[in-house]
Amino acid sequence: MNTTSSVSSDDAVISTNDDATSCKYSAMKLGYFKDDYVIYFAKAREKRAPLINRGYYTRVASFRKCISTFIGNGGKQIIALGAGFDTNYFHFFDSLPDDFKYLELDFPQVVSMKSSILQKQPKFSKFLQGASITDSGEISTGRYFLRGVDLRHLDSASSTILSCIDPTQPTLFLSECVLIYMSVEESSALLRWISETFASAGMLLYEQIHPHDAFGQTMQKNLLSRGCPLLSLMRYPTISDQKDRFISLGWTHVDALDMLQVWDNILERADNRRAEHLEMFDELEEWRLIQSHYCLVL
């Protein structure tokens, strides 16, 4: 079976946001991590399998640790590419300096849905104080910006980013299974633009690797059947390829780990031990296999 396609369905890619949000809700509900906000975005709230819950713990915990480090080291801005229903801004709000800026970008229809939830739920009122909100749901508070844009169109994406963010300030970009749904040409253009435009930029990228073995083939087929093929996976199949990708596009300091290495070397061991005792878990080999097929580039 051919596991590649040249296009993704926008609706199918958008649906991955709903899946991820529901998985995060399941892990949160079982105590893998604290998140007071994901409940407002989760459309499906059934308990997920232990493999999925532990996987999302690793995903969320790694992003939070890296974001916390960036803030603690004097970072000034975060740009979440394809942010979906991500809740990191709300989670970190109380620890952000008053001059910190946080920009979330996603398809206009996702932005409209997220904005509607933020406006309707009293839980989010403190984040929207003094906000300017457009008819399409775009939000500006001076600290938080929510914008609808197609990242595949660099002209509109770049102008949107620069209308909210100062490229001279230290900036962290987040990409959580986003660039992999764009063509190699589209994602490369965006990454090169960032490296050439921002004086001090970092990237935190989470996406799939190792497409050639049996699990990698199955992973691709499942997503292809849903209309969202992994468009750049074959071009960047390994950690080494991911490093070379960024270096070739003008990024000077790049590291990459698979999620097993993240578990062992980045996450706090005490937190991992606590997570290990939350559910019965007898799928260690399958867990290791899945985690080895995802990477964190930073």
3-class SS shares of the chain: helix, strand, coil, % to 5: 50, 15, 35
Closest CA to 143 of 126, 160, 157, 158: 126
pLDDT, one tens digit per residue, over 58-67 is 999 999 999 9
Q: Is the pLDDT of residue 4 over 60?
A: no
Q: What is the dihedral of CA 13, 19, 25, 28, to 10 degrees?
A: -90
Distance between CA atoms of 33 and 44, rounded to whole angstroms? 18
- The pLDDT tens digits of the residues spanning 82-100 come to 999 999 999 999 999 999 9
pLDDT band at 79 (very low <50, low <70, confident <90, very high): very high
pLDDT at residue number 179: 97
> Do the beta carbons of residue 102 and residue 142 sit within 8 Å?
no
Reported as a single tens digit per residue, the pLDDT across 41-58 is 999 899 999 999 999 999
pTM as predicted: 0.95
Query: Which pLDDT belongs to residue 3?
Result: 46
> What pLDDT, on the 0 to 100 scale, is given for residue 165?
97
- Sheet hosting strand 256-258, strand order edge to edge: 132-133, 139-140, 144-148, 101-106, 77-81, 171-176, 201-208, 294-297, 256-258
Segment 94-111 mean pLDDT = 97
